[in-house]
Copies of this chain bind each other. A is one copy, B any other.
Amino acid sequence: MDEGMSGFGLKTSRSGSGGGGGAKCGRWNPTNEQVKVLTDLFRSGLRTPSTDQIQKISSQLSFYGKIESKNVFYWFQNHKARERQKRRRVYVESDQNEHNIAKQHFAEVVESGRVIETLQLFPVHSLSFADHSEKARGYTNDECKENTSPYATMYTCGTEMENHYQHRHPSLDLRLSFM
């Protein structure tokens, strides 16, 4: 997700605004601030920025670290595609369990032209780059070992909406591994 998970500690975050920055170049590695701004823009409705917009965004984000316009371009492409795809999956998935239509809670975001305006003036809340909110991805997981036994595994992880179609037996035609 957009969450990124990068925790603060290990991720080779060369958020070197400023001087050298460790260059582990090879591919763009967005800083948390950059991601935040981009995400905000996306959330505010921007999906396919024009060349000009990309330029501007890139310029602004360069303050936080090395970045090229193509990075911005790709970021939006990927984010949009993944968001859509994610949604598609979820939709299908829930479709199979036939009982949670509620899954659609969000998905409006809107698209009015207003977004464009906003964008040109540049982002909203974006920066508070004092933001050290590392997601600190809590994960207070207790223990996750799913039992590996074939038949008892059903409801080990409730909550997701996946557990419902395990009533019919695969009939084991599976061993189609013939070749």
Contact = CB atoms under 8 A, between A and B. Distances in A.
Interface string A136-176: 00011111111111100111111111110110111101111
A69 B141 contact: no
Contact of A26 (B64, B121, B127, B141): B141
A124 B62 contact: no
Chief secondary structure at chain A's binding surface? loop
Interface residues of A, number: 109
Contacts of A1: 7, 10-11, 82
A152 B50 CA distance: 21
Given A51-B156, A62-B165, A121-B177, 10 more contacts: A15-B158, A22-B157, A31-B148, A44-B178, A63-B170, A63-B174, A68-B162, A69-B157, A122-B173, A122-B177
Interface of A: 1-3, 5-11, 13-16, 18-27, 29, 31-33, 37, 40-41, 43-45, 51, 54-55, 58-60, 62-70, 73-74, 81-83, 85-86, 88-90, 92-93, 95-96, 118, 121-129, 139-150, 153-163, 165-166, 168-171, 173-179
